[in-house]
């Protein structure tokens, strides 16, 4: 198995076993102790290590208890894995900024680049379609006419 295939397998575990199956106990096995998340979509107090995703995932689960990631594409080259995903869920809890739950279902895109070191994810850069998310939640109008 190539290093790229090994890296993709680690990232698939992060998506399926950790995020989708809600097994946050796996985070130390998948994230490097020096892990850094370069996207601040949902601000977290923890800035380094597996605790970053533990806090981020927990906040997302509070706002969207049924949230899941559907991975559409995963490419690997060297120490990096690139992903295109859709996150789907129902806003049944307050958002991280305190906005009350809307009860609306959402589906929004995310692109991520993950860098791996020593068999663990050490860095993440992400772009999330935040405009689609807030429009689907009804927080800003869909049509600006």
Tens-digit pLDDT profile for residues 30-86: 999 999 999 877 778 888 999 999 999 999 999 999 999 999 999 999 999 999 999
Architecture in CATH for domain 3-136: Roll (3.10)
The 10 Å Cβ neighbour count of residue 35 is: 25
Specify whether the CB–CB gap between 42 and 53 falls below 8 A. Answer: no
Candidates 46, 27, 28; CA nearest to 37 is 46
pLDDT at position 71: 98
Burial class for 59, CB neighbours closer than 10 Å (0-12, 13-18, 19+): middle
Count, residues in the chain: 145
Residue 144 has pLDDT above 80, yes or no: no
Tens-digit pLDDT profile for residues 107-123: 999 999 999 999 999 99
Residue 141 has pLDDT above 90, yes or no: no
pLDDT of the residue at 36: 95
Q: How confident is the model at residue 145 (pLDDT cuts 50, 70, 90)?
A: low
Q: Is the pTM of this model over 0.95?
A: no
Residue 94: the pLDDT is 96
Q: What is the pLDDT of residue 13?
A: 98
């Amino acid at each position: 198995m190539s290093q790229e295939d090994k890296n993709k397998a680690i990232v698939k575990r992060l998506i399926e076993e950790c995020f989708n199956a809600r097994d946050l106990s796996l985070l130390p096995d998948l994230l490097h102790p020096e892990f850094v998340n370069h996207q601040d979509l949902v601000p977290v107090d923890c800035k380094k290590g597996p605790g970053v995703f533990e806090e981020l995932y927990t906040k997302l689960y509070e706002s969207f208890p049924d949230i899941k990631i559907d991975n559409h594409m995963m490419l690997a080259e060297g120490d990096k894995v690139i992903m295109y995903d859709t996150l789907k869920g129902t806003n049944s809890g307050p958002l991280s900024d305190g906005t009350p739950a809307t009860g609306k279902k959402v589906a929004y895109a995310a692109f991520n680049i993950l860098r791996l070191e020593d068999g663990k994810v050490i860095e993440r850069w992400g772009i999330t379609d935040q405009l689609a998310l807030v429009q689907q939640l009804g927080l800003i109008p869909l049509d600006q006419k």
